[in-house]
Amino acid sequence: MAIEVFNRFEKKYFVTAEQLTRVLDEIEKHMSIDKNNINRQTYAICNLYFDTQDDYLIRTSLSKPIYKEKIRLRTYGTPSKEGKAFLELKKKVNGLVNKRRTQIELQEAYRFVENGGKVAITEEMNLQVLKELAYMVQRYQLYPKTIISYDRIAYFEKENPDLRISFDTNIRTRREHLKLEEGNFGRALMENNLWLMEIKTAKAMPMWLTDLLAREEIRRISFSKYGTEFKMYINNEKNKEAIYA
């Protein structure tokens, strides 16, 4: 069964295309590559984010509160209409990320949000997580807002399953055609020569990893895919208003 509850810190960094090979070469001395990344081929992750009509969740998140939360629907690759997905609740308290998710049929996930957290229960679902998700849906009256997709390479450590490192590139977004089965196309969110590296662990980073970051002069950043997308969207809307004013 896939892991459905995560508690960890997520530290983010930008890695240039020029640095990437050196960084991956070092990581592969200590960690195993995801089975979907053979020969460093990427796999696609597609996320549909939900928010209130006035974007309360992302606006609150951007104000950098001690506690913030968001809800999204995730698939690996472009799903079929009858495909499976993960409905996820992600909370962050003082930098510690708690992610809880349940597997669910794609169309059932859409109906779950539309119907205020009501769904026919199946064996694959995590009932406790569903209750928490239903509370979120009912409290905020959520709507589908944006799709964010990207291509990923990921690594894990067998001796220390707590540690995971991922690299995302070709991050693309859209605010129309808000069905995941319609594809993972969208507008570019950041420069093509950058990769977003995330180090996910609840413990201290191993020495070889801190040495690697220092040697490559890779510094920690504050970056949110949804937050960056929302700021880009707001700027575009302001530009449109200025043109037609």
Q: What is the mean pLDDT of each run of 10 residues along the chain (245 residues)?
A: 73 97 97 95 98 97 94 97 95 91 96 93 90 95 97 89 93 97 95 94 92 98 96 87 63
**Is residue 70 within 8 Å of residue 55, measured between CB atoms?**
no
* Alpha helices per DSSP H over the chain: 17-27, 56-62, 106-114, 127-140, 207-215, 225-244
pTM over 0.85: yes
Which domain does 169 fall in, by range?
Answer: 5-244
By the 8 A CB rule, do 52 and 78 touch? no
Query: Can you give the pLDDT at residue 1?
Result: 41
pLDDT attached to residue 89: 95
> In the prediction, which pLDDT does 238 show?
79
CATH code: domain of residue 107: 3.20.100.30
Residue 131's φ and ψ, nearest 5 degrees, are -65, -40
Query: How many domains does the chain fold into?
Result: 1
**pLDDT score recorded for residue 127:** 92
- 150 close to 184: Cβ distance less than 8 angstroms: no
196 exposure class (CB count in 10 Å sphere: 0-12, 13-18, 19+):
buried
